[in-house]
Structure 1
C-alpha cells in the first residue's frame, strides 16, 4: 500500500466513525433496534461480497458444465465460463470430468479419478515423465478398458496417471485424434466421427 491508499483508508475510517457516532446520538432511544438493523445491513453487504467473489465456483457447482449435445456421430461441447471445454466421460463405467487439452499428447488422469475408475493406484509404476507448464512430472502408463462419450464408445485406450497434483484430468490428443473432425465454432467445440 502506498501513502495515497493509507490516506484514503484513514479518511474512510474517519468517515465511518463519524457516521456510527451520528447514528448512536440520533437514535439513543431506539439504539437496540438501530443496531439490529445495522447488523442486518452489514450481513447483507457481506453476503453480496461473498456471492460476487465465489460466483464462478457457485455456478460450476450448481451447473456442473452444460451438457454436450450428442447426435449420431457428432458431439457439441459448449465453452465454459472460464474459457475451457469440459466433458464428462464414462471411464470403465465411472464418470470422470475432463478438461479438453489439445496441448496434451495423451489422456492424463488425476490419481483420485484413476482410483474411481478401478485402477489400483498403489501398484502403479511411475516410470514416465511428462513436461508441463509447471515443470516435469512423473507418470504411470495405464490402459482404459472402456471410455464412453454419449453413444460413442472406445476400448483399450492408452492413458497416463499423473503423480503430481492436478485440478482436472486432461483429455488429450490420444483420444481426440480418434475423431474425424475437431472444430471450434464460436462458443462450441465440435467433435465428429
Structure 2
C-alpha cells in the first residue's frame, strides 16, 4: 500500500513537470485536475493502507464491523425503497395506539380509528371569530350540520343571544334547537374546509361537538371499514 501512495505522489510530480507552465496536458487533462486526482489517490491509498494494517492485526473483529455496516446499509436501502409502505404501516400503528388521531393516508385521505366505546372521535382545528382552537368532535352521520356546544362556541368567541337559538337540528340523540353560525375553517388531519355552516346548541343540550353533514358533504366521500373511518377530500 505504501507503494501506491508513493506512486500517486509520483503522479503529482509528473503533472508539475509535464505541464511546463501550460494549462493542459496530453489528452486534454489540465495540470490542476491531474494534481487533484493524484492527491486524492494518495490520501485514499494511505487510508486503505492504515485500514489494511489494522485488519491484519485483528481480522475477525473487522470482518464483524464490515458485516454490521453492510447490514445497516442494506436496511437503509430497503427502507428508502419501501418508504411509502413503511409510512402506511407506521400510520396504521399510530392510529391503533392513539384512537381518534387523524392519520394521513394515500391521496390525501384521513383515517380515524374507532375508540373503545365504539365511537369515532377526532381532534379538529376550528377557526372562528379570529380564533383557531383544537376541539374534540364526534363523527355523527345523523347530524344535519356541524354542531358546537355552547361552551366550545364561546371559547371561539361565539355567544349567541337566547332568541337566536331558533333553528331545529337533528342529531343521533334526537332534535335540539341551535343558533346558526359560519366557521372560518374546519380542519381534520390534512383536510381543511372553509366557510363551513355550523350550529351552536343550547347550553346543556349536547355533551360534545358533532361532525355533521355540512362538513361531511364537502368531502369526496367518507366510509367506515371495520374499525376505521376514512375521509377523502374533494379535489
Superposition TM-score tier, normalisation by shorter sequence: 0.5 to 0.7
DSSP 3-state at the match of 1:80: coil
Cα contact 2:102–2:188 (8 A) shared by 1? no
CA drift at 1:183: 1.2
Name which of 107, 112, 118 aligns with 1:83. 118
In structure 2, relative to structure 1, the CA distance for the partners of 1:128 and 1:188 (3 Å cut) is same
**Which one has a larger percent strand, Structure 1 or Structure 2?**
1
SS at match of 1:90: strand
Q: 2:184 — aligned with what?
A: 145
Measured in 2, the distance between the counterparts of 1:64 and 1:161 equals 28
Q: For residue 122 of structure 1, report the CA deviation from its aligned partner.
A: 4.6
Higher relative contact order (CA 8 A, sep 6+): 1
| CA spacing shift, 1:74–1:136, aligned 2, 3 Å | closer
SS for the counterpart of 2:117 is coil
- Normalising by the residue count of structure 1, what TM-score does the alignment of the two structures yield? 0.61
CA distance in 2, matches of 1:174, 1:91: 14
Q: 1:168 aligns with which of 203, 208, 219?
A: 208
User: Hey, what does 1:53 align to over in structure 2?
Assistant: none
Deviations 1:41-67 (A, max 9, x none): xxxxxxxxxxxxxxxxxxxxxx98441
Runs (4+) of structure 1 exceeding 3 A deviation are 63-66, 121-124, 131-136
- Asked which structure has the greater CA Rg, the reply is 2
Q: 1:69 to 1:160 in 2, by over 3 A?
A: same
User: Over aligned residue pairs, what C-alpha RMSD do you find?
Assistant: 2.2
Q: 2:108 aligns with which of 50, 73, 84?
A: 73
Distance 1:185 1:121, change over 3 A: same
CA pair 137-183 structure 1, distance change in 2 beyond 3 A:
closer
Judge conservation of contact 2:110–2:191 (CA < 8 Å) in 1. no
Measure, in 1, the Cα distance between the counterparts of 2:205 and 2:167.
16
CA displacement 1:58-109 (0-9 Å, x = unmatched): xxxxx98441211352000000111110111110120110000001111111
Shift of 1:165: 2.4
How many pairs does the alignment contain? Answer: 131
Bigger fraction of residues in helix: 2
- 1:192 aligned residue: 232
Where does the alignment leave 5 or more consecutive residues of structure 2 unmatched? Answer: 1-96
Q: 1:185 to 1:133 in 2, by over 3 A?
A: closer
2:194 counterpart of 1:181: no
